[in-house]
Amino acid sequence: MKDKLHVFYSLRFLFFIGFLFVVVGTKAQYTSKDINLYIETYSDLAIKKMKDYGIPASITLAQGILESAAGTSDLARNANNHFGIKCHSDWSGKTYYKDDDKKDECFRSYNSVEESYNDHSSFLKKSRYASLFTLEITDYKAWAKELKKCGYATDPNYPDRLIYLIETYSLNQFDKADYKKGAITQKPSKADQVLSLQDRKFSKVDYPYTERAVYLNNNVYFIIAKKGEMFYDIAIDVQLTVSQLRKYNDVPNRNYEPQEGEIIYISKKAGNSSTVKEHVVRANETLRDIAQRYGIKEKSLRKRNNLPKGIQPSQGSVIKLKN
């Protein structure tokens, strides 16, 4: 049964990766820092449009972040187009051409970002999207799902991506009528930027391929596994394959899945470098545990310490971490 489940997850992941390259492969990569800056810059504008048109500010912001790569895309920077709206037959304004589904497609160009927000709001007021305005303005999940039903995007994961952004960055706070600018801090505190783990501290770093917290250990990127996560789930989050994750983390067998709170590396571990010279083996500690602790390949540790495959170090022994 586990083998069948593994095959099922592998096929689903391969399909997702193929789809990902088609849908967002050409979009600019952006970081959580870019997203926070985007929210800080345009949240008031989104609230203004919510009051003018009745569209949740959270939905407008999430769409703007997603469609403009948090304001970093060519279309946003060169044409002030934050929602990827194409020219269509009724457009008589300025234009901007770029490759999208087809070569040299026509996109609307605006004199300001606010014009783009106005046009986006007007666009959703078309009869095609009338069902949106029967929903509660605070029900962002229903809005995200209804947008897909109305044909706003071809991406089958579009509602989930909007909801993820809204919940991760608390964008629904802007849907409240009593919201005041500055009432809720957008930037995380310094405490949120530091991870204390295994008697060591790690600083959070910017990493363009995921919105979850990423840290550095021995110049290797890693995340912390959440409760119930499988390698499949993490692979989707960080845009890697399951086999890459298993290789990066010296996974002991094909049935092994991450444990809650476990370090999971999302880039190749170091072979011969370490900031620590040696490690004294603790009770029940395996060589893989040590390799994961210091961000070093288990194979390299075995070779450096003359430990044959299958043999574990004894408690109290010293493991050399670098030559």
Task: Give the model's pLDDT for residue 190.
Answer: 46
272 with 158, same domain: the answer is no
- Helical axes 140-149 vs 158-168, angle rounded to 10°: 160
Q: What is the pLDDT of residues 194-252, one digit of tens each?
A: 787 767 788 888 877 787 889 998 889 999 999 888 999 898 888 888 999 999 999 98
One domain, residues 34 and 171: yes
User: How far is it, in rounded angstroms, from Cα 170 to Cα 160?
Assistant: 15
| Cβ 230 vs Cβ 8: under 8 Å | no
Same domain, 165 and 197: no
* Residues whose CB falls within 8 Å of the CB of residue 225, separated by 6 or more in sequence, listed in order: 234, 258, 259, 260, 261, 262, 263, 264
Same domain, 106 and 200: no
For the chain, the domain total comes to: 2
Per-residue model confidence (pLDDT) at position 111? 92
Residues 91-150 pLDDT 10s: 888 999 988 778 888 999 999 999 999 999 988 988 888 889 888 888 999 999 999 998
- What's the CATH number where 65 sits? 1.10.530.10
- Which amino acid, 214? V
Same domain? 275 vs 171: no
C-alpha torsion sign, points 164, 207, 77, 21 = negative
Q: What is the DSSP-derived secondary structure letter of residue 315?
A: T
**pTM passes above 0.85:** no
Task: State which residues form the domain around 297.
Answer: 190-320
Q: Which helix (H) or strand (E) holds 205?
A: strand 200-205
Q: Which residue among 140, 175, 210 closes a domain?
A: 175
Residues 307 and 207 in one domain: yes
CA nearest neighbour of 61 among 151, 163, 150: 163
Euclidean distance between CA atoms 162 and 298, whole angstroms: 39
206 plus 307 within the same structural domain: yes
Is residue 192 a contact partner of residue 207, using CB atoms and an 8 Å limit? no
- Number of other residues whose CB lies within 10 A of the CB of residue 68: 27
Coil/strand/helix, residue 311: coil
Q: Both 56 and 195 in a single domain?
A: no
Alpha-carbon span 161 to 197, nearest angstrom: 30
